[in-house]
Amino acid sequence: MTEDGTNTRNSQGSGTRSAGRRGVVIAIACAAFAAGMVGAAFASVPLYQLFCQVTGYGGTTQRAEAAPTTVSDKQVTVRFDGNVAEGLPWTFRPNQREVRIHLGEKTQVSYHVENKSDHAITGQALFNVTPDAAGLYFNKIACFCFSSQTLQPGETAEMPIVFYVDPDMANSEELKSLLAITLSYTFFPVDDPAPVAAAPSTEGEAAKGVEG
């Protein structure tokens, strides 16, 4: 084999190895980016919730100030589900398993929650609607899920939700024949709120005044 032929094979081999290394680097970078995104989302419950509310991801519901003035003749059944994440010693369940409502009708239901532990715990509820497409039409006016909830040892509470289903759902080709919607909540434990900064000491202020 000529020297030129040897150089050509070496060049091709080097190019193949280089392309392989680039592929591995790209794959590792993509995996790290995906893991980072997932970690960032689940490390902060409010951040994940905000992401879902903005994008409508996974059947996330909408938020509204008031119900519409027009109520449709069309009805839909809304079912309720409640869960707690592993490590949260709460019981959490809906007081009504389902309600039959008109589209556009303002409705209030509630969930019962109890802290079964011997210490105060703060939790945050994440939520979704199934089928996913119905999340665009499910509007909450008031909900315990809008903020974190702290329960004292053994404390029980009734947590209300005020909502309506947008009458425009009847115009959706995908959902116009929908018979039922399921609203599901899962409570997750969150870190305790940051302590309030201590007020300035009056004795310290007085001492400063004397020194001045």
Q: What is the CATH number of the domain that holds 130?
A: 2.60.370.10
Residue 65 tokens read as 């100030």
Residues 11 and 116 in one domain: no
Using alpha carbons, select from 108, 124, 127, 110 the residue that is nearest to residue 59: 127
Q: Is 200 a domain residue?
A: no
- Do 23 and 115 have their domain in common? no
Which among 63, 190, 64, 182 has a CA at the least distance from the CA of 128? 182
Whole-angstrom Cα distance, residue 121 to residue 138? 29
In terms of residue numbers, what domain contains 2?
A: 1-43
What 192-199 contacts at long range (C-beta under 8 Å, 24+ apart), as own/partner pairs, is 192/122, 193/122, 193/148, 193/150
Which two structure tokens, joined as six digits, stand for 38? 């997932």
Quote the pTM value: 0.64
- For the chain, the domain total comes to 2
Positive or negative torsion for Cα 43, 47, 52, 57: negative
- Which residues fall within 8 angstroms of residue 163, CB to CB, at 6 or more apart? 61, 78, 106, 107, 109, 138, 139, 140, 141, 143, 183
Residue 37 lies in a domain: yes
**30 domain-assigned:** yes
Could you list the pLDDT tens digit for every one of the 212 residues in the chain?
545 555 545 545 555 555 455 555 455 545 544 444 444 444 445 554 554 544 444 456 677 788 888 899 999 999 999 999 999 999 999 999 999 999 999 999 999 999 999 999 999 999 999 999 999 999 999 999 999 999 999 999 999 999 999 999 999 999 989 999 999 999 999 975 444 333 344 444 444 444 44
H or E element, residue 202: helix 202-211
